A and B are shown apart, each in its own frame.
Chain A
Amino acid sequence: MELIRCHIDNFGKLHDIDLDFKDGLNIFLRENGYGKSTMAAFFRAMFYGLPDGEKAGEAENGRKRYSPWQGGVFGGELCFLRADKKYRVERRFGRVKSEDSFALFDMENNTASSDFSEKLGEELFGVDEETWCRTAFARQQDVSWEVGSGIHEKIGSISDMSYDMRRYAEGMEKLKDEMNALSPNRRTGRIFQLKMKLEQISTDLESMSDMEGKKFVTDSRLRQTRWRQTELKKKMEETRGKIKAAAHYQEMLSLKMAYGQLKDARDRTGDEAREAERKYFEDYRPSFPEDGRAARMREDGQELNARFRNGFPSEEEIRHAEKIFSRAGFLIERLRLSVQERESDGRKGILLSCVLLATGLFLLICAIVFTRANSSGSSMGAWIYILALLMLLAGFLILTYGILSSRNRWQLWFKKSGTGKNHSRMSEEDMKNEAERLSRELDVFLSRFYELPHSQSEAERRSTRGRFLRKLGRDGMRWHRLTAISALEKDYESKSKTLEKFESEHNPDEFLRMEEPGNQENIDKLSESLQVLSGRLNELEDEILAGQEESNQLRIKMQELYSQEVEYELGMEELQELENRHALLVLTRDHLAKAKENFSRDYRNPLMESFGRYYLAFLGTEAWDKDAEMIDKTPFRMDEDFNLQPVYEGEGRDLSLLSEGCRDMAALCRRFAFVDAMYPGEKPFLILDDPFVNLDQDKIAAGLCFLREISKEYQILYFTCHESRA
């Protein structure tokens, strides 16, 4: 399309300006501050309208900026040619968008046209306002620009293309992030982590079969051990039974023995009693009939008990009584003998004394005679004197003794008896008194038990005493025997009761009829055996406890594994889902890259062709064929992001390696190459606002040459403020 003319009513500083445009290059040499930018903004506003409000990024093109200072409506008209049809667009702008007006006229017949709407720019150029600004409008500061992502912000690539490429770059970043987040290879990737986790679970689960086998073996062993325990318990029970039986047998045996002993003791006592009884009667009542013996014994017992109601004299008493009886008897006998002896001794003494005296006298006479016969004093005569004197003395003493002893009852010398009792010599009076005393004592003793007759002579009484003493002895014997018999009978009774009690407490039939068990084992051996079994049982119980613990632990582990099994199943589902997503992302990435490659290639080739053409035009080259050779002749290449790279020795290099002038030229060529690519059909007009301001003089010439070339295809509105660049 082509601009024909325009009229600016009010637009910023521009007021009532008319401009005519021709095909090709339109050079506008205006001083600085003329309003070239404002004019460019006017053209933009005529095609794209003005935005409403003051949004960010629109400060340059805002409604407020270009509204006339004096206020009021501003705008203008613009006539253009499109597809061989001329149009006139009128736009007026108010304070707000609702106050704007738009009118399109067919210039041929000056009638309103509906061929285009208010979105004139989009419909005419097929790009949005921003893109059109970036392509169709080159400002002076934009000639040279940094190659890189920022360049898209300044001049963009190709309208939607640059937008798409930006979106592509951002999208690929997001896709890359998502793929990394899911990555099966990165440690931080969910798929990797999930696989690791599932592998771990799978490894654990692999052990499940072994673990189940192990549990099976453990349970089998446990079962076997329990079975052995049961058998062992049975055996122990058997052994205990045997021990019990043996102990019972022993007990019965003991009871049997004890019973036997009790019975024997009782029987023995019974026999003793009967024997004692028999002997009693044999000794004391030999002809007493068998019947009534018991009664007789009772009577005898009663009699003797009555007699000895105060107690039977002790053996000492009896011995004492016997002793005093003997002593009394002895004394009496001794007295009699003493008297007899005394009298005999007296007689003997007197006789002896007479003999001694006579002899003494004889000797005395002899002595006298001798002495007289022997006047020499022989000793013989002395000795005869002495002897005669002695004999006289002795005879005198004996005479005296004889006389005295026949008169005095001196105590007699008693030889020591076998009892060790010293008896001192007593007088006959003493003996008599002693005998009487002793007799009285004996009487008193005997009268405790017997009634002694009173009128009796001493001899009779003595005989009676002796008799009663003997009776006492016999009675005592009888009494003792009866007492013994009674004791035996009591003992028998007691033993019978004991036996009865035993019989009532135990069942004699049981142990009496008990048979000795065959193969009876020794209790000690059985106990020892039981101890061994008990030890083994403890070991088995420990084994069982350990086995149960192991089985429980395995069961717990298996339960964990079963939980993991579920986790594994769910994890596999999740993994499948994530892998599907990852695969989709890979496909998306690959296809997006392919699309971008195609896309950029579709634009890049023509871009390079265009670039080549413009570059050569800049260099003044006349070859103007749009064939592939043009690309080869340019020492540049374009990467996928449409960034230029100078080629040195077959390698693409950074654009910064070029001089500023070459860089600017290349950038400008590139821009126009983009424009070529963007507008393959209806060519837009281009507004260049002093794009060569930074070029040195020789480059400016090239630039102008370049402009002339491109103006062959494009209507160019070239604004400059310096003649050197016009």
Chain B
Amino acid sequence: MKMIHMADVHLDSKVEAHLSKEQAAERRQELMDTFLRAIDYAGQEDVCAVLLCGELFDAARVSRATVRSILSAIGKHPGITFFCLRGDQDRIFKDAEGGDRAIMEEAFGSDASAFQQQEAQGFAAAGEEEKIPENLILIGDKWQQYRISEKVVITAVSVAERKLSYSGEAQDAGNDSGILEMNPHGDALADGMPALRKEDCNIVMLSENILPEGFGNESIDYIALACGSSPEIGSLGGRGIYACPGCLEGRSFMECGPHGFYVLEFTGGGELEKIHFKDIAGRHMWRISVDIGDLRNSGMILERIKGSIAALEGTLTVPEAEIGADGFAIREKKCGFVRKEDFLCVLLRGEVNPETEKNTTFLTDALSEDYSFVMLKDETRVKLDYQPYLQDRGLKGEFVREMEKDEELSEEIRDEVIRLGLQLLMGDEILWN
């Protein structure tokens, strides 16, 4: 049996600001394609459940076409159950009667049964004709529990605010009393987390990216979280682990590296045995710093950049886990291979000589031949040898000496001020780096 743990899909959301309007639209479509590809993968791999831990889309921005595509894709795989949590980007709006309603709750209904009953009302953004597939289970802010197989149980809750905290002590299952009481607002919920049986393989889904302190007990095998940009696996302290798959595909240069989801593999007996990462992103975002301080011209700089890119291979890792009788082992899987279709952000750094020939347009154009999108940022500083001026009797010398005395300034700023001052005192125009 297999499951997929996916989060932070961010369909129809903001993408990298430096893309043109057309590129941005194309990028958003690519995110959609990746999501659909992930679902197709689930179908091909006979996955029984897909755990969507929030941030599927920003319901205020999502288009009808996107929602229809999602529903259609889910509907095409009736054998897969999709568990969908609300993300923390959920908004609170005033509904038509002036009451506060979370947008996803309004869109989907606060629980599955209510949601199913709202079938006739259609999907918020899709229009009146769309029907919600029966294999799409939406989790509200009340705990819900589903038995997937004889042994595997999914327990899930959405929380609208980042105030999820844990109060109370972990208790063993065995009785039917609640094991943990989640405390999202400082008050105990009327119904706490459902009881978890030790003999089950318990998968807990949370839409948070912060694991509540102390959350975890002997009965939890896997906590599926939604988190920021990078995959992460950690220990719960007991028998279980938590995992964040990172976002499904990077939207900006703040979300670099490989992206995808975790595949949970279970033994025939329903035990979780392996968690491996599937990189399914259509494009990766890469951010590379290249020190060109010792280089003289654009040709050399280009070579250095290409070398840095090649050196990336295998340098990045994503965590995976294997669970055995003795516990679990987390290992790092190597990745990091810059492909032609990837987006590249190159930061030129270092102190360069004033005579260094550095043509950023040439560099950008040359790199653009190999990669889909290249953003080049020149963060170099012109090397400034102002030591000779220290002995100068004139104003230049006085200025440099004055700057040397100012210990509050950082070296970088001091050098830049000296450079500007000397430019001015030499009668040159102000040139910015």
Contacts and interface: CB of A to CB of B under 8 A. Distances in A.
Interface string B403-433: 1001001000100110011011111011010
Contacts of A23: none
B421 A592 contact: yes
Interface in A543-577: 558, 562-563, 565-566, 569-570
The residue in B402, B406, B409 that gathers the most chain A C-beta atoms within 10 A of its C-beta is B402
B395 A165 contact: yes
Given A216-B103, A227-B121, A584-B416, A591 B96 contact: no
B425 to A, nearest CB: 5
A581 B432 contact: yes
A570 B16 CA distance: 10
Give the interface size bracket for B toward A: 35 or more
A220 B406 CA distance: 62
A172 interface: yes
B395 A595 contact: yes
B396 interface: yes
Interface in A516-561: 558
Contact of B93 (A174, A217, A594): A217
A230 B130 CA distance: 13
Given A216-B93, A227-B122, A570-B18, A591 B425 contact: no
A216 B106 contact: yes
A168 B425 contact: yes
Interface string B85-96: 000000101111
A217 B420 CA distance: 55
Contact of A161 (B122, B395, B413): B395
B94 A220 contact: no
B384 interface: no
Given A168-B425, A174-B424, A227 B394 contact: no
B398 A172 contact: no
Contacts of B14: 562, 565-566
A261 B59 CA distance: 69
B302 interface: no
The prevalent SS among residues of A at the interface is: helix
Nearest to B425: A167
B61 interface: yes
A646 B433 CA distance: 46
B417 A160 contact: no
B398 to A, nearest CB: 4
A380 interface: no
B424 A592 contact: yes
Interface in B1-55: 14, 17-18, 21, 24
Contact of B417 (A219, A566, A584): A584
Contacts of A587: 409, 413, 417
Contacts of A178: 430
Contacts of B96: 217, 220-221, 224
A226 B398 contact: no
B420 A168 contact: no
Interface in B313-355: none
A19 to B, nearest CB: 33
B125 interface: yes
Contact of B398 (A224, A585, A595): A595
Contacts of A563: 21
A171 interface: yes
Contacts of A594: 402
A174 B430 contact: yes
B399 interface: yes
Contact of A164 (B21, B91, B423, B425): B425
Contacts of B128: 223, 226-227, 229-230
30 contacts: A160-B395, A164-B396, A167-B427, A168-B424, A170-B427, A171-B421, A172-B424, A174-B429, A213-B91, A213-B93, A216-B60, A216-B106, A220-B96, A223-B128, A227-B120, A227-B121, A230-B128, A558-B61, A562-B61, A566-B17, A581-B432, A584-B413, A585-B430, A591-B406, A591-B421, A595-B401, A595-B402, A596-B398, A598-B398, A599-B398
Report the 3 A-B pairs with minimum CB-CB distance, sorted nearest first. Answer: A171-B424, A164-B395, A212-B60
